[in-house]
Amino acid sequence: MTRELGAAVRAATARLADAGVPSPEADAVALAAHVLGTSAAEVRKAMVLGRAAPDGYETLVDERARRVPLQHLTGRAGFRGIELRVGPGVFTPRPETELVAGLAVEAARVVAAGGASPVVVDLCTGSGAIALAVKDEVPGAQVHAVELSPDAYAWALANRDALALDVDVRLGDATEAFDDLLGAVDVVVSNPPYIPAGMEPVDPEVRDHDPGVALYGGDPTGLAIPLVVAARAARLLRAGGRLLMEHADTQGGTLPARLRATGQWRDVVDHVDLNGRPRATSAVRSTARSAEEPA
């Protein structure tokens, strides 16, 4: 007997809630929308009208109950005003990172308002989320991005091409990238690996499915990799250029303090996300250089 869509979604919601999925009802509807090839709003309408549940729906619900990321099951992740293709091998962009992208957009718009074409670099781009969002929202910007993982790089290229956004995406190490842009960049933005070594993410979606190279910051503080990425940003930025960097909610004091201590940065400010948790640091490239800093 064919199951009615409303009953199927309600049962899926209960199943996902029992499995600890944080947003069970929204995910149940999103999976139905994916199978039906329609929107969440249309699913809700179809539930009222008594439409039959689609074949394959319960299989996807089973996968989500096993905490396979929703975005891996649908192949899509919304990020600000764009939709990204995601899946195994690439970090799934999350709402917290939209804050960082927004800060980069604002910084690029300030440069554009002065009559220049902003030069923006995204270090550790992953799926390309931040770089592509900046290009989408500041079309006149010259946007460059780099990613270390060949798998993630392939996703970034696919997203760039699908969105038809003119972004320079390179495969390489963020700590060595863009020798051709030294001292010429207006905005550097980064969501680097920052989870402290030895700390296991709580969410199975992160722990079991996001690539480790995108997660762990290289030492017990989680700041080893962010700090070398910031050092590269300092070489890329012109004097007065701006760095925006995402961090863990436990690093809202430590990352700004470490950046100030280098002598490379001024106006170091931390920013909270929509949940009020420390999430990103902004800093302006100082005109002064320390004695140990390469020219």
Total Cβ atoms within 10 A of residue 197: 12
As given in the structure block, the two tokens for residue 83 are 């939709």
Angle, CA of 238, 192 and 212, to the nearest 5°: 155
As given in the structure block, the two tokens for residue 134 are 């900046």
Angle, CA of 258, 176 and 158, to the nearest 5°: 110
Residue 214 backbone dihedrals phi, psi, to 5 degrees: -95, -5
In order, the DSSP letters of 145-174 are EEES-HHHHHHHHHHHHHHT--EEEEES-T
User: How many angstroms separate the CA atoms of 4 and 9, rounded?
Assistant: 9
User: How many angstroms separate the CA atoms of 235 and 242, rounded?
Assistant: 12
93 annotated among ligand-binding-site residues = no
User: How many angstroms separate the CA atoms of 144 and 122, rounded?
Assistant: 6
Exposed, middle or buried, 22 (CB in 10 Å: 0-12/13-18/19+)?
exposed
275 annotated among ligand-binding-site residues = no
In 3D space, the residue among 247, 111, 256 whose CA is nearest the CA of residue 187 turns out to be: 111
User: What is the SS3 assignment for 78?
Assistant: strand
191 annotated among ligand-binding-site residues = yes
95 annotated among ligand-binding-site residues = no
User: What is the SS3 assignment for 248?
Assistant: coil
The DSSP letter of residue 47 is H
The DSSP letter of residue 127 is T
153 annotated among ligand-binding-site residues = no
Torsional sign, CA 108, 110, 113, 118: negative
Q: Which residues make up each annotated binding site?
A: 147, 191-194
Q: Which residues make up each annotated binding site for S-adenosyl-L-methionine?
A: 147, 191
Q: Which residues make up each annotated binding site for substrate?
A: 191-194
